[in-house]
Structure 1
């Protein structure tokens, strides 16, 4: 499996201006190399069909696709990874999926440590800032938590209220990458927003150089 991309786009059909499939299609060629199919609240058969459509789209444009929570579905569609909620599920997922990426949702430094110990490939750390997607969800962890999480030597993706404006400070604080949902899903031009996030990485690289 190749190196993790730096930007992870999380799907949410309730926020998308059009269908999730159409949004993901628009992201092809925009610098978005990785999609996480979330949408966990739909019937299993419908979710499977949607996952298969997204697998076809992402294969066609050379992007990676991960599936949230459902390890069996990830295996069935040949997904590039699975994103889990509990550290104890990492080992069984690894056994089934082999070299596919296995990530974990982290909401504290303890969660980051547990993910590292269990062998996760990365964590999403949230919420970094207050978020429109989940109002009242928190408390916001802030940039200092990113700095401390980076010390665990596992790729940390900053999630929650991360806009193109706040993306660069997250990277400067030690985030390996960014995980974004609502800002892209709600956008009139999702590809343009993704390119804006991409500029945060190039700015960081110039400063480091």
Structure 2
């Protein structure tokens, strides 16, 4: 089956809203909403194709964009490779040049619109940020909250509450306090625990380790909650996707002091595995803010880590 290569843009304005357009009824997947773009012509680069399509469709000129996610999807009648870039700089006021309705919507409002099946992981990528802090050790509940606050100040907009050393009751207390802070700061809190405890934390979603992933046979949380998993192999990526995860972490990209015995992937292997993924992927393991652009170039949603965000003992 021929694969149609499409360049699409998640266009974000200064208010953090995302532009979507409605497909004409007579077209493939007609009547559904989409992220604007179009076919990549032979010999054309993806950024050039995206700039051309957005000028034709929306009358805007792209001034800044970067890779976001690349997804192949097989419909019954055709296959598409969606090469999606995040557009954060443009000139002009977007309008439906071809008569198509367009709308600016809040990122979380994207869930209220009907998109083609191929766009589901793109919606997740559009809703997610690019920096995830993972909690290290702390002396008390108050210490966790204080350190998470500083991690947010450093740029984290997702916080994974990881504290396997704590007993269940203490973990729930910590996660509740962190979740409350994250809600006040407009940050997503993800509980790294078992489904039963997650329900008690008030967090926005659940993250499972690769070991816990093995034991799951279905998605353990509702579609309204975030669900993510730790992956270290293509097989684990496939298992996570089959369970309906919204995103994953893939590690270790580089050797870490916490798991020095594990052979790192390196950017080349990381990029190869990400290219086969059907969900957003965060780079984890020896990465920091200086490697954020490299992660984008390798197809990642962004970076995740402890040491780049956490003060004190993080082992």
TM-score normalised by structure 1 residue count: 0.78
Q: Does 1:34 align with 2:158?
A: yes
Query: 1 CA distance for matches of 2:223 and 2:198?
Result: 12
Instruction: Please report how far the alpha carbon of residue 120 of structure 1 lies from its aligned counterpart in structure 2 after TM superposition.
Output: 0.9
Alignment of 1:158-197 (within 5 A): 158-186=283-311
Q: For residue 138 of structure 1, what is the aligned residue in structure 2? A: 262
Q: For residue 247 of structure 2, what is the aligned residue in structure 1? A: 122
Distance 1:184 1:49, change over 3 A: same
Query: 2 CA distance for matches of 1:64 and 1:29?
Result: 14
Instruction: Please report how far the alpha carbon of residue 73 of structure 1 lies from its aligned counterpart in structure 2 after TM superposition.
Output: 2.3
Higher normalized strand content (fraction of residues): 2
8 A contact 2:248–2:279 mirrored in 1: yes
Deviations 1:167-195 (A, max 9, x none): 322221111121111222137xxxxxxxx
Distance 1:181 1:4, change over 3 A: same
Structure 2: gaps of 5 or more residues: 1-106, 109-126
8 A contact 2:147–2:311 mirrored in 1: no
Distance 1:35 1:90, change over 3 A: farther
Query: 2 CA distance for matches of 1:138 and 1:45?
Result: 32
Q: Does 1:81 align with 2:205?
A: yes
Higher normalized helix content (fraction of residues): 1
1:102 is paired with a residue whose SS is: strand
8 A contact 1:131–1:160 mirrored in 2: yes
Instruction: Please report how far the alpha carbon of residue 153 of structure 1 lies from its aligned counterpart in structure 2 after TM superposition.
Output: 2.1
Query: 1 CA distance for matches of 2:131 and 2:205?
Result: 15
Q: If you compute each CA radius of gyration, which structure gives the higher value, 1 or 2?
A: 2
Instruction: Please report how far the alpha carbon of residue 124 of structure 1 lies from its aligned counterpart in structure 2 after TM superposition.
Output: 0.4
Q: For residue 218 of structure 2, what is the aligned residue in structure 1? A: 91
Query: 1 CA distance for matches of 2:288 and 2:134?
Result: 14
Larger RCO: Structure 1 or Structure 2 (Cα < 8 Å, ≥ 6 residues apart)? 1
